[in-house]
Amino acid sequence: MFDWLIQSWNQLTSKELLTLVVSICSFVLAFASFAYTVRSKRRDANAAARNDFHSCISKISEIRSEREEKERELKDDFESLEHRAMRARLNDKLRIYLSKAVLLRTRYRRLDISSFENLLLGAALADQGRYTASLRYYRRAVRLSADSADKALAMRVYGRAMIGAGYPWLGRRKMLKATRLFSRLSNTRGYDRDLMIYESTETYSRLVRIELRCGYLDHVQEDLNEFEWSIPKIKHAKQRQSMEELLTKLKKESQPDPTPSHSETTGAQPGGISPGSL
């Protein structure tokens, strides 16, 4: 085969050789131009997707801020029938931008997403009860955290989402690791000692709340004790008082209900926690 090619090459005239070389060069140039065009279009598509993604993240942040402001303003009336239309409007807008952001992140995997943006996506999904879907964003947020305090914050919400997704042991382990990290940072130069102590105590309170909410009661008393022991370390009186009030509330919620349950009165077997309770 190789000998045949050499023999055919030798039989070509100079004009035929020139034509062949020009044809090969034209093919190479055409292929290079095609590759450059494809790469440029892909780069433009990635840039457009990145801009759309950041726009969605900005809208999600605005909607969550608006919702939190309304909750502070209306307090208990926020969940009333009178404000149902307002809640539906906020939820619908949030779902639209959240779905678009998740789609863009799934289709364009090379998007440059910061730890904060992963946290925001995970929080938006967790607020809708989609704990399992939020785990991968929280996991990336923990991995991308450049600061120890940011890593502890990300690990706290990551653990909470794991408990909500049905992994109570792993989630509790993550949250306890976050409390230890906050405690270590309280003795580290360059970090606000009082703030780190408060965040550690806040992590215990969130751990107890998600355990009670999801019905994982094996370690509730132990975590309540840790929460109670950490409260006196808070220096600010108002913060300490709010934590003491929260502790009293959580202790009441952790007590077994003295009234007979529906299953005891009807003879039905107790079932699991409904998805809506998450």
Span 101-113, pLDDT tens digits: 888 888 877 777 8
Residues of the chain with pLDDT under 70: 1-12, 17, 257-278
* The pLDDT of residue 192: 92
Residue 170 one-letter amino acid: L
Gap between the Cα atoms of 239 and 47, Å rounded: 45
Residue 87, token pair as written in the block:
């809640």
* The pLDDT of residue 128: 85
* The pLDDT of residue 2: 63
* The pLDDT of residue 10: 66
Which helix or strand (DSSP H or E) is residue 96 part of? Answer: helix 84-107
* Domain segments of the chain as ranges: 21-112, 138-254
Tokens 């605005």, located at residue: 62
Long-range contacts of 115-120 (CB under 8 A, 24+ apart): 115/140, 115/141, 115/144, 115/145, 115/146, 115/150, 115/154, 116/141, 117/54, 117/57, 118/144, 119/153, 119/154, 119/157, 120/57, 120/60, 120/61, 120/64
Span 44-94, pLDDT tens digits: 777 788 888 889 889 988 988 888 888 888 877 888 888 888 888 888 888
